[in-house]
């Protein structure tokens, strides 16, 4: 089981590096490139204070700053086993958006965040696509956690400067197979939305 989880982490880290179009390639032949690549990769994220040796990092990706990527990073140097899970319909990240006047941007009427709560590991559906489960190991491993588009969440009426606040959440698997929610400190990211990010017709 541990080998399977480790393989999942390696695959997830490699997939994320591909999405982010990294300029360098990780190699297992030498520890220095791994450390250098991980540092460069981490520099692209704004990370919050760690909880249980895990830190949440957020960044925007591609040409539109309305597209947000959330990743989990190991915050400690130890390989202490951290069994956690993000089941279906569990709210992995809470988002809040503020304009340049510090006013909260309202959610879209069509936005309904996941809110399912699980009590034990037996409540989680088996073999369901999209279940994130793993063990947090030390650097350079990381876990892609969520990808979101702000225009699918908030009523953004025009381009401009905004501040995004994200609060990550995971479910810890306890020794008795019960699940408990672990909430991370909020992470704040300044973004600039173009008119075409908010309204695609603005390009025309």
Q: What residue ranges of the chain have pLDDT lower than 50? A: 1-38, 40-41, 202, 204
Question: How far is 169 from 92, CA to CA, in rounded Å?
Answer: 5
pLDDT for the residue numbered 96: 98
Where do the structural domains in the chain lie, given as residue ranges?
2-203
- Whole-angstrom distance, CA of residue 128 vs CA of residue 115: 17
pTM greater than 0.85 (yes/no):
no
Whole-angstrom Cα distance, residue 75 to residue 91? Answer: 22
The confidence score (pLDDT) of residue 136 equals 54
pLDDT value at position 135? 53
| Those residues with Cβ within 8 angstroms of residue 101's Cβ, 6 or more apart along the chain or in another chain | none
- Asked if residues 132 and 172 have their Cβ atoms less than 8 Å apart, the reply is no
- Burial class from Cβ neighbours inside 10 Å (0-12, 13-18, 19+) for residue 83 reads middle
The DSSP output letter for 149 is E
Q: Which run of H or of E encompasses 198?
A: helix 195-198
State the pLDDT at residue 179. Answer: 92
Paired residues of 94 in beta bridges = 167
In the three-class reduction of DSSP (H, G, I as helix; E, B as strand; rest coil), residue 30 is classed as coil
């Amino acid at each position: 089981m541990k080998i399977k989880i480790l393989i999942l982490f390696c695959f997830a880290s490699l997939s994320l590096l591909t999405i982010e179009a990294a300029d360098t390639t990780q190699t297992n032949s030498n520890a220095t490139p791994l450390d250098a690549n991980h540092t460069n990769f981490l520099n692209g994220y704004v990370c919050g204070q760690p909880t249980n040796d895990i830190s949440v990092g957020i960044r925007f990706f591609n040409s539109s700053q309305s597209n947000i990527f959330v990743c989990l990073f190991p915050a400690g140097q130890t390989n202490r086993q951290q069994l956690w899970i993000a089941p279906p319909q569990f709210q992995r990240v809470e988002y809040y958006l503020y304009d340049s006047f510090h006013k909260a941007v309202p959610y879209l009427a069509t936005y309904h965040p996941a809110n399912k709560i699980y009590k034990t590991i037996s409540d989680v559906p088996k073999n369901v696509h999209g279940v994130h489960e793993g063990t947090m190991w030390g650097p350079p491993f990381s876990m892609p956690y969520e990808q979101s588009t702000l225009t699918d969440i908030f009523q953004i009426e025009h381009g401009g400067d905004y501040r995004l606040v994200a609060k990550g959440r995971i479910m810890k698997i306890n020794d008795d197979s019960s699940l408990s929610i672990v909430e991370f400190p909020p992470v704040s990211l300044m973004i600039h939305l173009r008119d075409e990010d908010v309204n695609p017709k603005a390009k025309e």
